[in-house]
A and B are shown apart, each in its own frame.
Chain A
Amino acid sequence: MSEEMTWVLQAQQGSDEAFTNLVETYQKHVYNLCYRMLGEPESAENAAQETFLRAFQHIHRYDRKRPFATWLLSIAAHYCIDRLRRRKFSMASIDQDEEEGGFELPDADAPNPESEVVHNEQREQMQGLLKRLDSVDRAAIVLRYWNDCSEAEIAEALNLTVSAVKSRLHRARRELAGLWQAETPRSKPERRPHESPAF
């Protein structure tokens, strides 16, 4: 049995310490998903904390046949989608919030100021594009690219069929490309060595 499953079992039996280990392990994944979905550090922090609280409260419902990460990310994604829908209803636009809030986030692995600036620019640019996507499409993109979830896992996390996930990813990538072209007509993204521009 993996260490993670041991923690899950102990957490299901009421161990706070075991659940804290799970929080330590998944905080970055959950926070990143919330940040990419909501676009503000403060909202992302609240959403990530709420996700872990909900997971803790309902840990007895977790089916051990499913991957724990998918279950956790599913809670986070649904919470963020719900928040975005409420924002939409209350007519408060994300653009306005972001102009007020800004992006002051800690970057754990910034080797030097120059690369930090590049990463920050890229992060802001991508965040700016992501916020224009539909909330479910956005969740699918974040789960696919930042959490390396398979299409089947995304489908499970978002309560969609695999074909719906494929079609949403296809549509979202096309939309992102259109926005990318419109916003950055001359810029070229940073490439990894020996990597094709496509993959």
Chain B
Amino acid sequence: MNHRPFEDWLLDNQPLTPEQKRDLQSHLRLCTSCSAIAESNLALHTTQMVPPAPGFTDRFKTRLAHRRSEQKWRQIVGTLVLVLGGLGLLYWLAGPVIQEALSSPAEWITTAVGYFLFVLTSLQALGEAGTILVRVVPSFVSPAGLFVILMVVSGFIYLCIVSIWRVNRIPQGV
């Protein structure tokens, strides 16, 4: 038996003209396959919505309160573990250094001053090198080349910004 177009009308829930409805009715009297589609469609339309047991909202309120107290406890325990772990790690890493520093303060102060001077002189040297580069580079590179370099650098910065935005974008749905 030819089920077209009746099957499509039924499966796609197409709106039908009175004439098409008549044709469909006569086809359904003869065709068990299409009448099964019609019957299951009707069953889908007539099967009622199942409501939850009474008191759903009260049960929700109870669960919400329980979830909140759980989260609060988890936060407290998490913070405690983090703080204690951090302190332990700090003691384990810095303990020997602190002990040494306390036992010979003069040596420790000399080392600290040495490091400070090293960082300061390094920064000064870097600054001078940068100034020289800024003065020298334009004489080697043409304005067009400079423009290209600037474009590449700005493109890279733009890519970074877009990537950060995409990663941090708030998703919809949960």
Contacts and interface: CB of A to CB of B under 8 A. Distances in A.
Contacts of A75: 173-174
B36 A29 contact: no
Interface stretch (B54-62, B105-113, B149-157): B54-62
A94 B46 CA distance: 24
Contacts of A106: 51, 53-54
A129 B41 CA distance: 12
A31 B47 contact: no
Interface in B16-42: 16, 21, 24-25, 28, 32-33, 35-42
B146 interface: no
A118 B21 CA distance: 28
Given A48-B56, A177-B36, A197-B28, A31 B50 contact: yes
Contacts, number: 153
Interface of A: 16, 20, 23-24, 27-29, 31-32, 35-36, 41, 44-45, 48-49, 52-58, 61-63, 66, 71, 74-75, 78, 105-109, 119, 122-123, 125-126, 129, 141, 145-146, 159, 166, 170, 173-174, 176-181, 184, 188-192, 195-199
A143 to B, nearest CB: 12
B51 A189 contact: no
Contact of A28 (B13, B43, B52, B59): B52
B11 interface: yes
Given A29-B49, A145-B45, A174-B11, A198 B172 contact: no
A54 B174 contact: yes
A48 B51 CA distance: 11
A148 to B, nearest CB: 10
A119 B50 CA distance: 11
Contacts of A44: 50, 52
B11 to A, nearest CB: 5
Nearest to A45: B52
Contact of B172 (A56, A63, A170, A188): A63
Contacts of A63: 172
Given A28-B51, A35-B50, A122-B47, A198 B24 contact: yes
Contacts of A180: 36, 39-40, 43
B50 A199 contact: no
A31 B39 contact: no
A36 B36 CA distance: 21
A16 B64 contact: yes
Contact of B33 (A24, A109, A181, A197): A181
B63 interface: yes
Contact of A198 (B9, B54, B67): B9
B171 interface: yes
